[in-house]
Homo-oligomer: A and B are copies of this chain.
């Protein structure tokens, strides 16, 4: 280090970190020398000494696709502003990678963890370690029901309910649904919103119209084919994912059916693509970036608390139902489109 050129070991440390009881003259000299010698602080050593890594761990199922990328964008931005580095992991929708990644984050001494669960995650045992070590944890978007942990989600139930209500208002009476794995809150809530909207309008819930799957484009194709083959096909489709809805759209167009005239269509997530299809696809915006920001903020809050005082918190963001041409027979109700960047 640099005490050779002047005189002092810890004065250097203090000078660099702007400690108050160091003369301005000294500070200046030290900074100048640091510059000159290309001194590079070793964050690891400081972290070890202080017991603070300044690291936040983030685990998402995957980072491709609009949603998680946007959330991570929000997370990274807020975290860095608060002086934290971000370590990214992907579970690849696999519980085992999830376990390994948790290990990796813990041994990297992260000070807090943000997670959106893998599709194959059905229980919470591998998160117990985190709780035991009292590392703050916030789940976002994909959580498990009945698990006592802080989380940030949008109101999927409400989004689905409002969307299906809209379809009914447009005259739909037999509404099909593409659903995802129900052990995940988001798909369960979207299904419940669909279900309850039907019931509260006195409509029948027909199991034949509900297709379970992974909500991919390919499965959307397949499901739509099957629906059209029914003796009494639906007059609307509400998919829990946009990709599923796009698959359905493709089949409908290929069959020469008109959207929305012959079939109303709606997805969920407001993927950018939905603004570019013809007709544009009705969907529900998930406020991705806001969700990421809210998740970090909540995490930081929890990190500043005494572990003893800790009580899990739940932030529910309002969904934003975007009515577009694919579900609009009566044009007046359309959501105004924002200008695209």
Contacts and interface: CB of A to CB of B under 8 A. Distances in A.
A263 to B, nearest CB: 18
A341 B69 contact: no
Interface string A38-81: 10111111011000010000000011111011101100110010
Interface stretch (A26-34, A103-111, A155-163): A103-111
A13 to B, nearest CB: 14
Contacts of A45: 48
A16 to B, nearest CB: 11
Given A129-B38, A216-B341, A273-B272, A89 B63 contact: no
A172 interface: no
A277 interface: yes
A89 B70 contact: no
A89 B85 CA distance: 8
A192 B138 CA distance: 49
A271 B162 CA distance: 31
A278 interface: yes
A329 interface: no
A90 interface: yes
Interface size range on A against B: 35 or more
Contacts of A70: 64
Contacts of A43: 107-109
A64 B77 CA distance: 12
A80 B89 contact: yes
B42 A107 contact: yes
A65 B69 contact: yes
A310 to B, nearest CB: 19
Nearest to A45: B48
A277 B276 CA distance: 6
A90 B108 contact: no
A5 interface: no
A149 interface: no
Interface string A270-311: 001100111000000000000000000000000000000000
Given A42-B48, A76-B89, A86-B87, 7 more contacts: A38-B129, A38-B133, A64-B70, A80-B90, A85-B104, A86-B88, A88-B88
Which A-B residue pairs are the 4 nearest by beta carbons? A69-B69, A43-B107, A217-B340, A41-B107
